[in-house]
Structure formats: C-alpha cells, structure tokens
Chains A and B, each alone.
Chain A
C-alpha cells in the first residue's frame, strides 16, 4: 500500500509530506526531487522505480503530488487515489496551486489523516469529508451532541456515504445536463479515421430527505449481445435508437440493478455531481467540418486559412462557437481577416481565438490569418508539432 505521500511545488520544494509506513524514509523525498522533478529529460513515465522504491506522480497546476511505495500495490488504485485527493483539495479551497496548498496545509494534513490510513484509501467523498473536517474547526469548537456525532460517523461508514440525512428544501429540484465531447481523428486527406463521443450526464439535485431516483431505460436501445443494456439518452430523445458502447456510473448508482433491470437507480448526493459517463462510436454525424489550410510562405511568414462548415439541419442553431487555432511559439504578430464573428490573437496561449455568436445549419464561414514569425536560430531547428485546431459550441 501507499507508504508516503508528498506534495512539491514546481521547484521541487516539499509542501506536504506525510509518511504512512515505516519502509519509506524521508530520503525518498529527495530521491524523487532529484530524479524526477529536476531530471534533465522529459518525464517518460508516471511511475518511476528507484532502488526498489516506486514513485507515482501526477502534476496538477504547478504542484506535483507523489505517492511512494515499496510494495506491489494496485497501481490503478494509487492513481485514482491521487486524482481523488486533488479533486478533494480543489473542492475545499479552489484551484490547486502552491499558494493554496501552503495556505491550507493544516487542512491538508487533516484530510490526509482521514482519507488514507496506513496507506489504505478510506472514504474520499468531499461531501462527506466536509461534514467533519471543516476549515474553521467550527464543529469541534462548539459542544456537539451525541446524536450528531453518531450521525456523522454512521454516514462516513454507512452504505450511503455520499448523502447526509435530514436535508430539506422548500422546492425540490433536479437539474440534468448532458455534455458531449466528440473526439475525432482525421487523416491528412480529411478522411475520418475514428470518431467517438464521450458524454457525461451532470446533475444538480436539491431534493429533500432520502429520495431514490430512477431513470427509465428504453429497452429497445440495447447493444448487440444479450444482457448488455443501453441507456436512454435524454438529450437525444428525438432520435429513437442510441447505441451506447459502454457506460460508467457514479458510485451512488446501484450497478447490480442496472445489470438486471436496465434501470439507473440511485440515491443522489446533494448538490453537483457527475451521474454517468458513456461512450458511443456508432452513427456519429459531425456537426461541423473544419478545414484548415496552412502555407509557409517564407522562413518567417505563414498563412493560415480555416473554413468552418456547419453540417446540421438548417433549422438548428449553434451558439457561442469558439475556434482555437494554435500558432507556433515564435509568432511575433498576426493579421486577421474573418467573415463572421470576432477573432483575436492571444500570445499568452499561442493561439488565435475566433468567436462566432451564432451560426445556422448548412452554412460556411472562413478566417484567414497571416502570421509573422521571429527567426530564432535554435528554436527554428525544432519542428513545430502542429497541434490541431479545436472548437467548442453550445
């Protein structure tokens, strides 16, 4: 299991160090700094083994979080835990950065004490943790009744660890958002190599008591093979069949019920959470086509032309379209001409951001840019890896 956990800033200074097991010594702190954070080459693996000690690290913001172990631990679990740990910290004090970690180090130690015992992850749900680890230590200051205490503890260990009892709202509301990401891989010829939609159902619930929610599942929508359930997708209810390749659920969903009855049945946590994720690969119609044209006119000049075509029905409307066109790091200036919307070169992000308020279906729009490049001897040699153009819309 996890032997120790360290948090470093980007310079490699230790911000938090907590050792859980005897086999990990303080030297490990320095070993990681020297060999990974200060390593000359780029980090080649998130897992490093030095002298029979394994270091798992993730980098969030400008801090490194590193777990150390000398045993054959479950690697997936360690990374899941590190991610969860960073999520928990974020839900306590916002953005994860050196300043915030330093400001909240006492709180972080309290958290670490609670979520990891002898290297075994315990309950990491921020909602629950917030009931008894509070920033101000309010709960401990005032007299706490016995009932309240037992309520806290039963919740921490209880079957429904993610929800408090006795929540009351005057208006019971439930919000549901479906957010989808289309991941697309195209060949140079513009042929779609692979495409899949990664979607998630985000919910906000403000419900009283201990409600059990159930989502009906449309049985028609099964994936090939018996026993494989598909889920009804509220956002696409206009279309009758949506084949979902795979889905994952928040831990409040009763997985066994889903398997047998094809119903998503759950007692929701209070507030915002992500109920499910799904992935589909079939029948993906791309809402837009983006056609970039890049021409290097001379050593320090480049021309970029991007055409966006909307591919959906003319009756629909896409809003707040944002196209991000990456530029080389040695860009000195950009001249832009666009037919629609507004475009701006953001030197800090090395990108041209082109915004269009709305756009109807089956339309076309275009932007052209002339990019001046600085010729820096050494940097020129390193090829620009031409990151892809990305776009967002609602």
Chain B
C-alpha cells in the first residue's frame, strides 16, 4: 500500500488522463484516480476542472471513496456553486442512510460546504439529525449548527436551531453535551447579544457531564464555565470543589482550563478562608507537572505560570528549583523559565538563583546569555542584600571580555547605579577599561550616563566624553541625547576645564543636527545654562527617584484580563485578544471583582494610537519659534476650553515646538506669572505631553534631569523631580486629558463623579464634585491609587476659568500606597484670574503628583 506514488505524477495532460480514469467502469481505477486528484489538491494544484467527474463518483458504497469525494467537494464547492448542486441529492440520500457513520458524515460535510444553495437543503436533514436516536449522529449537528451560524446567522435563528441546540445541553450523552457547549460558546462570542444565559441549572448539568466526557469535551465545558459568574460564594465554592479533581488529568489543556476557572473563582470566595489556602496548595503541583510535558506544552504552561506568578506570587514561591533551565530545553522554554526565576527570586533563594544565572551567562545562545546577564541585574535591584554579590558576578562576567556579555553588563550596571546611587563606584574603573568594546547604542548610552553621573570621580571623564564627541554625528540618537546630557552634567560639576567641550556639544546638537528632539534638548540646556547656572544645576543634577523594584510587570488591568484567558492564545502572547483577533464584537473579560472600568484600551496602547487622529500642523521654522510662542502666550487660544481640539493638536509627534513651548513657558513664566498660562494653558501643557514621548525612548535615567526643568520654572511649583522619563508619558497624551466628564451638577452636593479614570491615567483614579460649605466653595475629591507604586507630592493648579476659581490653600493629600484611596477637600476662592471659557462652565484643573503629571478638565455649574 504505497500511496506516495500519487504525489509524483507531474506529466502534462494529466488532467485529461484523470478525467478518463474517473469515468472508468472499473471501481478500482476510479478509486485510484480520486486519490490522485486529492494528492494534487494537497500539493496546491488546481484540479477544479474535474468537478463534475469527481461528483459522479460520489454515489458509491465504498466509504473510503465517499470520504475522498466529500473532501474534494469541501475544497472546490465554493468555486463551482452551480455544479455543487449536483451533489445535493446524494447528500440528502446519505442523510437517510441506515449506517449512522454515513448519516453523520453527510451532515458534517454539508455543513462545511459554504454554498448558499446547499445550505438551504441542509436545514431539513440537520433537524432530523438533532433528534437522531444515535448519539454519534446527534453529536455531529451540534457542531454543524455553529457552522451554519457562521454562514448564515439569521437562518439559524429563524429555523429555531438555537433552541434545539440548547436542548442538547440536557442530552444523556456527555459528548453531545460537550459539543453543544462548544457550539453555543462560539455562537455567543460572535453574536452581538448573548444568546444563551448560563444559570445554576445548566452549570450543574455541565458539571455532571464533565466527569464523563472525553478530554476535549472537558476542555470545552471548563472553558465555558470560565465565562459563568456564580451568584454567591457558596456556588463558587461548590464549582471549585467539583472541578479540582480535573487538576490530575493527563491532558494539559484540561489542567490549564481548570486552573483558569479556579483562578477566576478564587476572587469571589471570601479572602483568607481555609478553602482558598487549600485550593492554592492544590494548584501548584499540577502546574509543576506540566513542565515535564512536551516542550511546546511547557511553553504554553510557562507563559501562563508567568501570569499566575504575577497575580498570585504565593502559589509557586516554593517551587523555584523546577524552573532551573535544563541543557536540552528548547530556547523558548529557557527564556520563559528565566523570566519566572526572576519573578520568584527573593532573599532566601537568591544565592541559588545567582549561581544558576552565572552558569547561564556562559551558555552558547547569545540571546539567552544576554537575558541571563540582564536577569542578574534585575536580581540586584530586586533583592537588596544580594546587590553586592550580583555586582561582583557582573564584574567577573566583564572580565570574560566576551563582547555581548560586557555590553549587556554595562546596561544593567547602569540600572544598579540608579537603584543604589553612590555605591559600588569602585567598579567604574573596570567599566572604563572596556569602553572600546562597546558598539551597541544602548550599551554606549549607558556607559555615557555612568560617566556623566560620576563625572567628579572619574579623573579623565572629560577625555572619555570627548572621545565620544569626536564621532557625534555617527552615533545613534539615543547615544547623542545621552552624550548631550552627560556633557552638561560634566560641565556643571567641573565648569573650569570643560566649557569648551560643552559649547562644542551644544552647537553640534543645535546647529548641525537634523533631529528635532536633539535640537530641542540642546536649546533647553543652552538657555538654562546661560540664564541661570544655579537653576540649571538644580534641574540637571536634581535628585532622581529610585527605579522601581519589579520590572516588566504587566499592567494590573491587563493582567486581570489575561488571567481570564489562561490557556488561550492571549495568555501566550500576553496581549488582549482584541489585538490579534478580528472579532465582530470586542469582547472583554475581566475578573469579577475587578475595579478597572471602561472599555478603554489599556493606556499602553493609547499613546501610540493617538497620532492618527491628529491635525496636521506645520512646524514653524526655528527663527520664528520664539515669536510664535510669545504670541501663543498672549493670545487666548480659541480652543482652550474645548477639550478635543488641543488634544488633537497636541498629537503632532515631532515635539519640536511642544518642547520649546515649555521652555519658553519657563522663560516667560516670571513676567507673566502663573496666570500667564491663561486660557492657552492647554497647548503648552499638552506640549509637555508630546515632549515626554520622545524622552521615553531614551535611556531612562538620562531623561530625568531633562524632564525636570520645564516644570518648576513654568510656575507649577512643588513638583520638582517628576519621573517623566521613567514612567510618565508612556500613556502619552491620553493620560493628560483623562477623565473629561461633564459634571451635570445639580444642587449643592452633586454626587462624586469620576474625573479621571484609572485605566486612562496609569492607575490614578480621581473622583470629585463641588459643594458649598459655610459659604465657601469646596472641591471634594477622592484619590485612589490603582498603580503599582506609591504616589506622593500632590499639588493642584487651576487654569484661569470663567469664575476666577482658584485654590485657597495648597492641596493636602497624604502619600498614597498602592490600592488605597484618600479624600481631600480643597477650599476654593473666586478671586483668581478670570478668563471666559467655552462653554462657560468649563474648568481646567491640573493635578500633579510625584512620578506623574495629570491634566484634567471638569465642567461644573456652580
């Protein structure tokens, strides 16, 4: 039995030959011919010309032949709809066949033929099959209804197939139930309105069927259970109890789907109960066992474990060792294991982790080695006690002189310096020795940052930087920006002998460069330095906020969504399904008690998608810039009150006059006072947002001293070291204009409204209202921190508005740890600058806090 010969016929006139063979009287020859046709079809040859001849072979009692003809039909019926009708009779006849296998086959195949005329004929047999006595036959139309729904949804609803499908949920055969569930889930996802409601009764039926159906059926049922929200804790607990035995199933998909349902239900159960503790204990071993499955399944499991570890670090914290990399793991498994190792690293196991990582750094695969070196740095930042050892490990690695290891090590050492400033300086000399080997932009930029930061301790810092300046124009933008900042730092620290250098760099950056970001930054430094060196020092050498401990964490709202998708593709990509699937209805799942509201895209995406809606703005030539800005300041911008226009305007990405806009705010701020911003406040402030974006692209640290100068001088006092480069701005402009909610305030104490949504502002939620207390207007606000790090240093500023509303005293809000909220009442006076707003009740308020910058607008009738 060598069917491979069918693959080798490539003669000319083949089609003709096949035709005669297909019409041959001999059954054997016919069968051979059909096989040849299928083989050519597989390879991608077009054999649709044979359609009528193949269809003629359909009436046969040979099941094998029949199946092949059906296969051919499924492939070509669409291209030959008229001819396909010829087959209908045979199909209908087959649907009546005494043999259940043939009945099922006929219905199944008919469902796959996407030709309208055939679909019409499908309804009748389908209805019969739904009530067939044989479970094997009943099983098929369950899926067939889903197929039909895909072709013609209206028809399915008209014919009442959905009702019949629902009846199948109570079928005596578990496999029929499972397929019906799968079909219903799919129909539910594609239709605009929910077609079936899950209730306690159906859930109970499903749970019963769960114990008896095939492994795939169990996956379907579990996946649909994940969409069900139990009414109360008892029901949730009941479901948990009934599905936990599935964790011992041999099929990884069953295990992961069970984990998904459990993870979702845990949130509903009362916190800290024994039941949860027990459940969590049961979750860990099956997940570890998944790591001895096939590598592809391991990969899926690891991607999911990565999510679970972020959501509930306690589940796997004891299991560090199983994530140690094996030599024969495929590279994708190694990379994922490494990621999880870092997440699980803590003080108790850090020694082991480090020795492993050091081992990995000598592996063969370049990417893996790089990631390992980076991981060592992350350990140092995460576990303070280990920093010393991490640094010495990194030094050892630098001594190996392997080019990419050294470069990677330099990058992480920069991060370590940021976390532990003024420590471990002794290694700087070693780093300087390896200056020549660095050829990647990121490594060069990091090295330059280190030199700039510790300029006073490196004797030949000026020479080193000078050597970089030699080839300024050949450098990557990232390096150029960093070089500029570092030279300015050097100048501020050692003004005596570096004046020439700084002037050279500034002129290189401003005059000889085509890069707007670079030019802008150059101009700002230049003005700062020439206007007030002392202020420049405050700004450029300002204290930097420490970088956060955990890196690469997913946004909490995204994480919650992904937890609902455990086991699925979304969890493998770590992206919400909407980003890679075209769905008719964007379906967004969140955890039951999750507080993240709105159907807004996560703000990560927000920033980048915005420029598409921008207006085109001509970038003014350099000379006219200042004039432009002056006029900006003096003429009230007509769109100042309308939130949408500046929003659009702000989106131009070049950031050229945005940045300068800020710079001149600073310069002009003195004369105009804070009120100088006036009605035009929005364009400059937006400009800042635009300016932040390019900064994000730079080596994190370098951006900081740069982000700082604009603000204090702009009269927005009290918010010196914004974490701009690090975190701010990622959300882009959307953040700044977050929460534009018209407050339809009626009466004195209008209920608090959400002015700023957490999802749009990287985790800060602000609710508020205006009310009158003993004759004074009070702005009553609740701040809620939904971000991952603490917020502090709150300050508020009102833009000029129609009522002259202004804060009577500074905003008093205590520092906010993550996931807590604070109330604040801000008494207001009405003697501030008055500016007519459009509409009249428009009020723009800026809230600042450490590490972020928010601009919000509230309209209120007072």
**Chain A positions near chain B (C-beta within 8 angstroms):** 1, 13-22, 26, 29, 42-47, 49, 52, 54, 56, 58, 69-77, 79-83, 99, 102-106, 109-110, 113, 117-118, 120-125, 132, 135, 137, 139-141, 144, 146, 149-150, 152-154, 156-159, 161, 183, 185, 187-188, 193-194, 196, 198, 225-228, 245-251, 254-256, 258-259, 274, 277, 279, 382-383, 385, 387-388
Contact = CB atoms under 8 A, between A and B. Distances in A.
Given A75-B572, A135-B1, A385 B327 contact: yes
A275 to B, nearest CB: 10
A72 B292 contact: no
Contact of A22 (B150, B295, B301, B359): B150
A155 to B, nearest CB: 9
Contacts of A150: 100, 134
Given A75-B572, A277-B292, A279-B289, 7 more contacts: A140-B62, A150-B100, A150-B134, A157-B135, A159-B174, A248-B249, A258-B248
Contacts of A72: 565, 568-570, 577, 580-581
Interface of B is mostly: helix
Interface stretch (B35-43, B425-433, B522-530, B750-758): B35-43
Interface in B30-68: 35, 38-39, 42-44, 61-64, 67-68
Contacts of A135: 1
B189 to A, nearest CB: 8
B477 interface: no
A30 to B, nearest CB: 9
Contact of B249 (A46, A185, A251, A385): A251
B506 interface: no
Contacts of B105: 113
Contacts of B288: 245-246, 279
Contacts of A106: 3, 35, 38, 64, 68
A141 B135 CA distance: 24
A154 B2 contact: no
A228 B244 CA distance: 11
Interface string B276-297: 0010011001101100101111
Interface stretch (B216-224, B770-778, B836-844): B216-224
A70 B582 contact: yes
A298 B82 CA distance: 77
Given A52-B581, A150-B134, A22 B114 contact: yes
Contact of B214 (A76, A146, A149, A251): A251
A49 B278 contact: no
A76 B256 contact: yes
A58 B296 contact: yes
Contact of B42 (A16, A21, A76): A16
Interface in B106-159: 108, 111-112, 114, 134-137, 139-140, 143-144, 146-147, 150
Interface stretch (B197-205, B318-326, B605-613, B625-633): B318-326
Interface of B: 1-4, 6-7, 35, 38-39, 42-44, 61-64, 67-68, 70-71, 75, 98-101, 105, 108, 111-112, 114, 134-137, 139-140, 143-144, 146-147, 150, 173-176, 179, 182, 186, 211-212, 214-216, 219-220, 223, 244-246, 248-253, 255-257, 278, 281-282, 285-286, 288-289, 292, 294-297, 299-301, 304, 321-322, 324, 326-328, 331-332, 352, 355-356, 359, 363-364, 565, 567-573, 577, 580-582
B68 A109 contact: yes
B1 A103 contact: yes
A29 B44 contact: yes
Contact of B43 (A14, A44, A141): A14
Contacts of B220: 120
Contact of A256 (B211, B304, B332): B211
Contacts of A56: 296
Contacts of B176: 157
B174 to A, nearest CB: 6
Nearest to B68: A106
Contacts of B112: 20, 118
Contacts of B98: 146, 149
A47 B572 contact: yes
Given A47-B569, A52-B580, A248-B249, A79 B296 contact: yes
B250 A251 contact: yes
Given A149-B101, A258-B245, A110 B135 contact: no
Contacts of B352: 193
Contacts of A105: 3, 6, 38-39, 42
